[in-house]
Amino acid sequence: MVIAPQLMSLEDYFNYDDDTETRYELEDGELLIMPPESDLSLRIASFLFAYFIQLGIPSYRLRIGTEIVVTGTKATVRLPDLMVLTEDLAIALQSATRSTVTIDMPPPQLVLEVVSPGKQNKDRDYRYKRSQYQARGIKEYWIVDPLEQQITLFHLVEGLYEEKSFQGQDAIASPILSELSSESQLTVAQVLKAQ
């Protein structure tokens, strides 16, 4: 007799504590161990955090390590590499006891994922998270892919993501960056070099 693993609810996930520093995502009720970030992933997220501050986004609207609840067939919580919050979301998180963007909160303005090696990680970032972030109403979703040496930008237009990919010395044509600075010429090479 095979016993299927019991799926977790959001409440189970929020109460889960295994007394380790292990990071998890919840995908359709299943607990997924997130491997430690690579040095390159951390450098990319830190570089963009600093870049967004230079463009004038206040630090209280930038998050590394904040979770977001998204829709899935079952309970799903993602842990993006970087988030740019809206002003309303930053205010909503001030009173939260956990750094989690719940379904009743406004969506972030931008979510960024750095692709880790492996087909499963790539599928998760390019397929599943794309549809989940689109359904959540996130204005922009960036996939930074060091293996493919490209950044894919998804911009929400009338409820659906429009996709553009950038490589090498291409300037990242982001509507959010354009709103902040008409002079922003951030390139893929700069982001992937993360210096």
Domain annotation covers residue 10: no
Contacts of 49 (CB under 8 A, 6+ apart): 62, 64, 82
Query: Domain span at residue 86?
Result: 37-62+80-193
Domain annotation covers residue 28: no
Total count of domains within the chain: 1
Lowest mean pLDDT among 8-12, 105-109, 139-143: 8-12
Q: What is the pTM of this model?
A: 0.90
- What secondary structure does DSSP assign to 99-159, as a single string? SEE-TTSPPPSEEEEEPPSSHHHHHIIIIIHHHHHHHHT-SEEEEEETTTTEEEEEEEETT
- In degrees, rounded to 5, the angle at the alpha carbon of residue 144 between the alpha carbons of residues 141 and 150 is 115
Q: What is the pLDDT of residue 2?
A: 46
Mean pLDDT, rounded, of the chain: 91
Q: What is the pLDDT of residues 107-129, one digit of tens each?
A: 999 999 999 888 888 888 999 99
Domain annotation covers residue 29: no
Domain annotation covers residue 19: no
Lowest mean pLDDT among 21-30, 54-63, 138-147: 21-30
Q: What CATH number should be reported for the domain holding residue 108?
A: 3.90.1570.10
Taking the C-alpha atoms of residue 129 and residue 131, their distance in angstroms, rounded to an integer, is 5
Contacts of 65 (CB under 8 A, 6+ apart): 79, 99
Domain annotation covers residue 144: yes
Percent residues over pLDDT 70 in the chain:
95
Domain annotation covers residue 74: no
Strand partners, 142: 112, 153
Q: What is the pLDDT of residue 117?
A: 83
